[in-house]
């Protein structure tokens, strides 16, 4: 009988000695895994859909999609050249030529987010920053022109006549 008790005790100890081991990832690995699993399509700027826009309006609507409660920073930059002669949509200024005009933090709602921003004459850069790790910011370029000056420039080009 002692052999049965010893054998049972030995088997009992063996069964309870097997344990599961858990390992935790360090914080940088955990953040990288969360960023990979996160659906980046939930964070979008839908209006305007183009990357660069020419307009005569000094107000632009920025809207998009983001989960409810997401903090979003909208920064508006203008160029140091307010004459519009040095920069165009094909000849954009360097980052050092921009001046911060406004910066505002908003929260997304059930339908996403929307904000009207004021622009200055010339080249404007609007940056939408989603305050979520792993989501890149979105940049939109607006060229605000004066319609009267644009028409006058077009007329002056017509006065030159065809060149050979």
Q: What is the pLDDT of residues 116-153, one digit of tens each?
A: 999 998 899 999 999 998 899 999 999 988 777 667 76
* Top-confidence residue, 25 or 137: 137
pTM, two decimals, is 0.67
Residue 106 pLDDT greater than 70, yes or no = yes
- Please check whether residue 134 lies inside any domain of the structure: yes
Q: Tell me if 3 is assigned to some domain.
A: no
pLDDT tens across 50-87, in order?
A: 999 999 999 999 999 999 999 999 999 998 775 667 78
Residues 6+ apart with CB under 8 A from 56: 144, 145, 146, 147, 150
Give residue 35's pLDDT: 52
* Residue 58, domain CATH: 2.60.40.10
Q: What domain count does the chain have? A: 1
Beta bridge partners of 140: 126
pLDDT at position 66 is 95
**Residue 9 within a domain:** no
Q: What is the pLDDT of residue 43?
A: 94
Percent of the chain at pLDDT > 90 equals 46
Where does the pLDDT of residue 22 fall: very low under 50, low under 70, confident under 90, or very high at 90 and above? Answer: low
| Higher-scoring residue by pLDDT: 164, 73 | 73
- Residue 110: what pLDDT? 95
121 domain-assigned: yes
- The sign of the CA dihedral 34, 39, 43, 44 is positive
**Phi, psi angle pair for 17, to nearest 5°:** -85, -20
* Interacting residues of 63 by C-beta distance below 8 A, sequence separation 6+: 45, 46, 47, 112, 113, 114, 115
Domain containing 51 equals 40-159
**CB atoms inside a 10 Å sphere around CB 48:** 17
Domain for residue 25, yes or no? no
Distance CA 128, CA 41 (A): 15
Q: Which pLDDT band holds residue 18 (cuts at 50, 70, 90)?
A: low
């Amino acid at each position: 009988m002692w052999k049965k008790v010893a054998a049972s005790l030995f088997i009992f100890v063996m069964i309870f000695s097997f344990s599961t081991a858990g390992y935790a990832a360090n914080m940088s690995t955990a953040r990288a895994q969360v960023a990979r699993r996160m659906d980046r399509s939930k964070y979008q700027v839908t209006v305007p859909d183009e990357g660069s826009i020419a307009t005569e309006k000094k107000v632009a609507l920025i809207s998009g999609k983001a989960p409810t409660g997401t903090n979003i920073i909208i920064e508006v930059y203008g160029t140091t050249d307010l004459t519009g002669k040095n920069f165009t949509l094909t000849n954009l200024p360097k980052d050092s030529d921009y001046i911060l005009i406004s910066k505002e933090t908003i929260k997304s709602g059930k339908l996403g987010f929307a904000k009207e921003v004021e622009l200055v004459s010339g080249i404007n850069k609007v940056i939408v920053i989603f305050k979520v790790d792993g989501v890149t910011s979105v940049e939109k370029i607006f060229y605000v022109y004066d319609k009267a000056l644009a028409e006058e420039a077009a007329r002056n080009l017509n006065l030159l006549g065809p060149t050979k």
